[in-house]
Amino acid sequence: MRLKTGLGGVFAVALLAADQAGAADLGYPTAFGAPAAPIAQAPVSFLSEVRLGTFAHDPASPEKGSADLNGEVLFAKPFSEPGSPWDFLFPRP
C-alpha cells in the first residue's frame, strides 16, 4: 500500500515538473485601458438602517382582528475593517 502511495506521489510530481510555465511567452500589452474612476465614498453616518413592520394576529386566536407594529433602528458599527472575513462577527449597536 505504501509503495502505491509513494509511486503515486512521484508520478504527480513528475507530471507537474514535466512542463514549464508559459507566462513569459506572452507579449507585453501595448495599449492599456483608461484608468478606473474613483469610487465615491458614502458620507459617514451613525445611522445604518430603519425598519418598520406589521404583524397580523392569528384569526383563530383570542386576539383576532388586531395587529402589532414593530420598529427597529440599527446604528452603524463603531469600527470595522472593510473586506475582513470577521466583519460579520462584530455586532451593531
- Any domain includes 69: yes
- With contact defined as beta carbons under 8 Å apart, do 92 and 74 qualify? yes
pLDDT value at residue 2: 66
- With contact defined as beta carbons under 8 Å apart, do 74 and 46 qualify? no
Listed as ranges, residues in the chain with pLDDT below 50 are: none
pLDDT value at residue 54: 92
| pTM of the predicted protein model | 0.38
- Any domain includes 1: no
- Any domain includes 21: no
pLDDT value at residue 93: 60
Q: Say how far apart CA 83 and CA 33 lie, in whole Å.
A: 26
- Any domain includes 12: no
Total domain count for the chain?
1
pLDDT value at residue 53: 94
Which sign, positive or negative, has the C-alpha torsion 22, 23, 24, 27?
Answer: positive
- Any domain includes 39: no
- Any domain includes 7: no
Domain of residue 73: give its range. 46-81+88-92
pLDDT value at residue 58: 82
